[in-house]
Amino acid sequence: MGRAARGLAASILLLSSGAAVAHMMGVVYNLPIPFWMYAFSASAALALSFLVVGYFVTAQNAARNFRTIDLGIPDARICGAVLAALRVSSVFALLLTILTGIFGPANPFANFSVTFFWIVFALGFTYLTALIGDVYALINPWRVICDWIERRNPGVFRPRFQYPRWLGYYPALVLYLAFIWLELFGQAPPRQLGLILLAYSVINVLGAGLFGPELWFRQGELFAVFLRLIGKIAPLDYRLDQAPGLPDRVQVRQPFIGLLQEPADHFSLLLFVLFMLSSTAFDGVHETRPWVLVFWKGIYPHLTALIERPYLFYVNIYYDWQWAMLFVSPFVYLAIYLLFVWVMKIVTGSARTVRDLALQFAFTLIPIAFVYNITHYYTLLLTQAPAIVPMISDPFGIGWDLFGTAKVYRAPIILLADRVWHTQVGLILFGHIVSVYLAHVQALKLFPRGRQGIWSQLPMLALMMVLTTIGLRILSLPIAAGQVQDPAPAVPTSSADFPFMLTSADSALAPRDPDEN
Amino acid sequence: MIVKPIVFMLAALIVLAALWFFFKPQSPELPAPVGAEAAAVNAPASRSAPVGTPGTAVQSPSTGNNVFELVVRGGKPVSGPPVLQVHEGEQVILNIRSDSSDELHLHGYDLHARIAPDQTTSLQFTANRTGRFGLELHRAHTELGALEVYPR
């Protein structure tokens, strides 16, 4: 199958031409939003922000009316049974993903593990978590495995080392960087995905063994941290009992209010949130024409002037550069964020440190990060997720038909481009308003009212405007036809005025035969 | 007080509607910035190429008929626009010529065409699905470019 070949050949594709907008998750059919829509939504974001400000100016008590309702546990036995079933299926899904990855078809588009992990879990389950809350904390397959091991060997997971306080969420952050790198640049065949998940399982058991499961699955395991943050959006909250695993009560709250219930408790968690923002922004921008040109028009000519190397050398540099930008991106966002927090401290004359304020407002960025994520990936979910239907009947690709769906034709759902645009713009505006709203509530809580007046609100509002405008602008940028410039043609033109083009498809690079046109 | 949130909701809707009508272009004016930019960046190509058909990428949308010529040699595109931009509902004619036999695949539309060596193969279809779709040579594993279909 050509699609398979394309996935596998993508790494050697570098030289032939640029791959389309494709990464581990599949192919995106999105068009950049038109400029007028960008202009509209940026202005709308600004106007709506001031409406929110106006709302707060006239409301003295907006922060008061948040409450949570305890649902308790309807029936402890039924709940326990459902939960036990979910935990078993969670481990089963993990094992199946690893096994089908290693032993299933080599074609990434036909392999269960790729679609299940990247589409159903990484996208679908994230969005589900935003609706129903952090169920993952209860059914985390690695946690369940550790519980099982502990039941057989009591005491095996007692913490062996004191977890250093400074380490915070850095393990999860490093794993998150690796995860996004794999998503954007890893052209790993399914087999490697299976092995990576196996290695990650070993890491998790080791981490739990060293520092205790409680701590590791709160601060070390990437998806636990990520989905806990996303789960704060949801209207449902599961308060954990002391006994691991079983929630002792379920609470209902207004959506998004969970983000205000506690501040970030470590600087590394702030970085984690900023990377949620910057990784999606980077994914959006790294294949757009202006961004690709930064290297090939801005950096490449200087490099060639400095060092003379074969063309492939520069292609490698290009990828190193892209990776470096990905890893630098959260720190760029950090600098922007701290700048605005610092201004806020000056404006309000608050006695709190910049660091403290930065942690207090960290979670108010999550709605923006979350809608970034949806706008970038929801079409992917629609086009790729139907493929799981035939795959669950034949996960190993060996001719099974377990549920009679193996032959079901899966038509990718491709939405109309203008409908996609409207959804994207609407979602971004929505996330922006929620973030502005949350930041205001937080400001009311932290700064005594009256003294600073409306001015205390403006720095955060400006920050949200910057973040939203960046997100919208990225959506509107034209997509590069190719990532990498073609190597010098067989008959090179004079190097002095080497015609600089982005893609091999741009004909200038190759000698052209007059009669071929 | 339930009145105030409603008032602010209404105000928000009015602001959104007003901005929408302010920014939305009149219907005949179709989005062109991407095409215009592509043309600008393509300019050096036509200057340096000995013979060329510059500007194929930005055909006038009003013609309703879009003919694109692609030439492939050694599995690599040597001539033709990297991005084919059309508008929804238009006829697209894609003429492709390669020095080796191959199979052309247009993603999203899932159109396939066999290419015989040194013969022009023509792919004709109506661009009735909007979005950005990869154009790929299966045997050479080459991404020839992309078809961008803009809504009307």
Residue of chain A whose Cα is closest to the Cα of B6: A55
Report residue A513 as tokens: 């035969």
Provide the shortest C-alpha distance from residue A60 to chain B (in Å). Answer: 13
Q: Which residue in A18, A416, A500 is closest to B143 by CB distance?
A: A18
ipTM above threshold 0.85: no
Low pLDDT (below 50) residues in chain A: 1-22, 487-517
Q: What is the pLDDT of residue A65?
A: 59
Q: What is the pLDDT of residue A56?
A: 75
* φ, ψ (nearest 5 deg) of residue A252: -105, 140
Report the SS3 class of residue B104.
strand
Q: If contacts are CB pairs under 8 Å, which of residues 85-114 in chain B contact chain A? A: 97, 103, 105, 107-108
User: What's the rounded Cα separation, in Å, for the pair B121 and B104?
Assistant: 10
Report the SS3 class of residue A68.
coil
Ramachandran assignment for A300, one of left (phi > 0), alpha (psi -120 to 50 degrees), beta (any other): alpha
Determine, for residues A507 and B144 on separate chains, whether the beta-carbon distance falls below 8 Å.
no
| Largest CA-CA distance found in chain B, in angstroms, rounded | 76
Determine, for residues B71 and A517 on separate chains, whether the beta-carbon distance falls below 8 Å.
yes
User: What's the rounded Cα separation, in Å, for the pair A158 and A146?
Assistant: 11
Question: Is residue B44 less than 8 Å (CB to CB) from chain A?
Answer: yes
Contact B96, B115 (CB under 8 A): yes
User: What's the rounded Cα separation, in Å, for the pair B138 and A366?
Assistant: 41
Q: What is the pLDDT of residue A485?
A: 52
Residue of chain A whose Cα is closest to the Cα of B5: A55
Q: What is the pLDDT of residue A312?
A: 81
Residue count (chain B) = 152
User: What's the rounded Cα separation, in Å, for the pair A463 and A456?
Assistant: 13
**Where do we find the tokens 């992990």?**
A117
Residue of chain A whose Cα is closest to the Cα of B26: A36
Going from the first residue of chain B to its last (152 residues), give the mean pLDDT of each consecutive group of 10, the final group possibly shorter. 84 93 72 40 30 37 71 83 88 90 87 88 90 86 85 86
Rg over alpha carbons for chain A, rounded to the nearest Å, is 25
User: What's the rounded Cα separation, in Å, for the pair A159 and A163?
Assistant: 9
Determine, for residues A503 and B79 on separate chains, whether the beta-carbon distance falls below 8 Å.
no
Q: Which of B141, B142, B149 to mutate to test the interface with A (most CBs of A within 10 A)?
A: B141
Question: Is residue B35 less than 8 Å (CB to CB) from chain A?
Answer: no
Determine, for residues A499 and B11 on separate chains, whether the beta-carbon distance falls below 8 Å.
no
Which chain B positions have a beta carbon within 8 Å of A46's beta carbon? Answer: none
Report residue A324 as tokens: 């470096």
What are the CA-CA distances from residue A503 to residues A25, A300, A484 (Å)?
24, 14, 6
Nearest to A5 by CA among B83, B118, B103, B145: B103
| Exposed/middle/buried for residue B125 (C-beta within 10 Å: 0-12, 13-18, 19+) | middle
Which chain A positions have a beta carbon within 8 Å of B148's beta carbon? Answer: 31
Contacts (Cβ under 8 Å, ≥6 apart) of B57: B35, B38, B39, B42, B81, B82, B83, B84, B85
Q: Which residue in A9, A34, A414 is closest to B141 by CB distance?
A: A9
Q: What is the pLDDT of residue A328?
A: 96
Contact A378, A413 (CB under 8 A): no
Provide the shortest C-alpha distance from residue B102 to chain A (in Å). Answer: 11
Q: What is the pLDDT of residue A121?
A: 96
Q: What is the pLDDT of residue A314?
A: 87
User: What's the rounded Cα separation, in Å, for the pair A296 and A495?
Assistant: 15
Residue of chain A whose Cα is closest to the Cα of B68: A517
Determine, for residues B141 and A16 on separate chains, whether the beta-carbon distance falls below 8 Å.
yes
Q: Which residue in A16, A418, A508 is closest to B142 by CB distance?
A: A16
Determine, for residues A43 and B48 on separate chains, whether the beta-carbon distance falls below 8 Å.
no
